[in-house]
Amino acid sequence: MLKIKKCLFVLLLPVLIAGCTTVGNLTPGQYPGSASGFYRVEASWRTTQSDVVPGSITASVMVGNNSYDMRPVPVVQDRWEAFIPVSAGAEEIRYRYRFDFMKYAIGGQKPDSVLSPEYRLKITAAK
């Protein structure tokens, strides 16, 4: 039993050292139609990775082949927002978030990124 615990610890050690990064979608699943054609999307970023270079994080939201820069939400830490254009008459869009950052590595810093799963935003008829 002791050997199994040692093996399990050795196998999990890299995961514990590397940490974890999560991207959360804070955008509602649907919005009423907007005359402006722009819709706000918001994401959260959380990481326990100790090798992320502070201040190096940038975020974007990807809709099809288009990418839109996100900006940090004022006052709230680790939240990002963007206003994305949606074609008139569209009933739904699919999007995902991408977070790019630098991380410390042997010999300097290297780029890395995290891509969220795909999300859907339903556009309902304006009331």
Domain boundaries, the chain: 20-124
20-72 pLDDT, tens per residue? 989 999 999 999 999 999 999 999 999 999 999 999 999 999 999 999 999 99
- Residue 111, CA distances (Å) to 100, 104, 105 in order: 7, 9, 10
pLDDT confidence tier of residue 85, bands split at 50, 70 and 90: very high
CB 21 within 8 A of CB 51: no
* CATH architecture of the domain with range 20-124: Sandwich (2.60)
Residue 4 pLDDT more than 90? no
Residue 5 pLDDT more than 70? no
The b/e string for 34-50 (b: 16+ C-beta within 10 A; e otherwise) is eeeeebebbbbbebeee
pTM of the model: 0.82
